[in-house]
Amino acid sequence: MDQWPPVSRLVRREIVEYSYYSEIQLDLGGACTRFQSDAGVDDEVTGGSVRFRVLGDGVMLWQSPVLTRPSASLRADVNVTGVDDLRLIVDDGGDGNGQDHADWAGAWLHCAA
């Protein structure tokens, strides 16, 4: 499981890319209000299928449909006010992990100082 550094005012990651199953855990400590990112299958593959999920304190806050290589990326714009434990999860879309390269692109967390 990947962990980003402690959150300050604003955290931005250009692209966070993972293959198959991934889980990123962020300790927000209730200090953030919004998570935003584009989510999609990476351009480097010709196939693949993935599903993106955002969980806050164990509760599903956002979920994409299963995305395939021809799918357009989707925008996740999630209210995370009061969330302590934020998890960004990508799975294989239910059909195995062949060519499952997933991107959280332009990821932002909006947090208090």
Per-residue pLDDT of the chain (113 residues; tens, 9 = 90+): 444 444 434 444 444 555 567 888 999 999 999 999 988 877 676 677 888 999 999 999 999 998 877 778 899 999 999 999 999 998 877 766 655 678 888 888 888 76
- CA-to-CA separations, 6 to 26, 51, 74, 109, in angstroms, rounded: 8, 26, 26, 11
| Domain definitions of the chain by residue range | 21-96
Any bridge partners for residue 68, and if so which? 49
pLDDT of 56: 98
pLDDT for 43 equals: 66
Residue 52 burial (C-beta neighbours within 10 Å; 0-12, 13-18, 19+): buried
The CATH number of 21-96, from 3.40.50.300, 2.60.120.1060, 3.10.450.200, 3.30.1330.20, is: 2.60.120.1060
Calculate ∠ Cα 34-67-89, nearest 5°.
45
pTM of the model: 0.79
What pLDDT, on a 0 to 100 scale, did the predictor assign at position 102?
80
